[in-house]
Amino acid sequence: MRLILTISLLLSIVSLSVGQSIEVNPYSNSIQIGEQIKVDLKVESSKNANILWPKAGESFHKKIMVVNSAGLDTVLTNNSKKITEHITVTSFDTGVWAVEPIAFVIDKDTFRSEPFLIEVLPVEVDTSQAIKDIQPISEVPYTFEEIIKFVGIGVGALWVLISLVSLILYLIGKDKKRAEAKPQIPLEPPHVEALRDLTELEEQKLWQNEKHREFHIRLSEIVRRYLERRFGMHALEYTTSEIEAQMHLTNVAQDYNESLIKALRISDMAKFAKAKPLPNENEFAYEAAESFVEVTKPVEEKKNEKENDQE
């Protein structure tokens, strides 16, 4: 083993031809585990030679790790060119590891260096000394520059926070003022809205023009919205059967309730089953809705209308 190590310590120089040579030279062939050493790769050739350089560490043993490369350093003279690369390597596995010949391509011809060995030795432990525990982390006091930096970061963060809160409060206040400034348009009484919508629906003459489904969709919507606004039912979300179960809230004669439910069922057939109700069924549904709104509108409205009629 000593003979092999002694031989591998020699410079690995291969003469290629006149004016050309390659050299792979480790600074040492013996290191302790984790220690770093340099390996020099050198090629000298004619000035105009085309050289293909190998990738750093591609021929090294898998137990040898390339730490870094200083890059290629090229020196030109009148008739020659010299390229050098300094590679730093290490190993964390004890043993003797071989570095295979490294290939260099010069003007399409391949040349290989001589192999060499690297011995990785373990760290010697003095067994006569007691084993010591790992030292705790030492606390280092903050410097003045670090304190100034932290204070600056804190002040900057506080400024950003204050600016953000101020912006949010400004936008909230702006929206509030805008909402207060916007005049609130009072909603029409439910019966006024329903009767107006029914009149507009009648004027459109949808079912007379074979638009049965469109007519009953709109009629059902008007009735359901009126029930929701006038009696607090969730009629727009209810099925007709669910509305029927809530009709006791209207406090009107049963005939009106039954007629309205019948009208909604006719509308359901037109909407969902694509049925075409007869003309008298369309007229019945419309009149049932209109009559229901008339008899369930507030008493004060009925009184005012009666007085207007007498005048």
pLDDT, one tens digit per residue, over 38-84 is: 999 899 988 888 888 888 767 778 888 888 988 889 998 888 899 99
How does residue 301 score in pLDDT terms, banded at 50, 70 and 90?
A: low
Helix 190-204 and helix 212-231, axial crossing angle in degrees, nearest 10: 170
Cβ-contact 73, 40 below 8 angstroms: no
Place of tokens 């570095």: 99
φ, ψ for residue 104, nearest 5 deg:
-120, 135
Tell if the pTM clears 0.85, that is, is over it. Answer: no
Is the pLDDT confidence value at 9 over 50?
no
Helix 254-272 and helix 212-231, axial crossing angle in degrees, nearest 10: 140
Helix (H) / strand (E) containing 151: helix 144-181
φ, ψ for residue 266, nearest 5 deg:
-60, -45
Model pLDDT, residue 42? 92
Residue 107 has what DSSP assignment? Answer: T
Q: Note every long-range contact of 62-66, with CB atoms under 8 Å and residues 24 or more positions apart, other chains counting.
A: 63/91, 63/93, 63/95, 63/97, 63/120, 64/89, 64/90, 64/91, 64/97, 64/99, 64/118, 65/89, 65/90, 65/91, 65/92
How does residue 161 score in pLDDT terms, banded at 50, 70 and 90?
A: very high
Residue 253: partners with Cβ closer than 8 Å, 6 or more residues away: 295
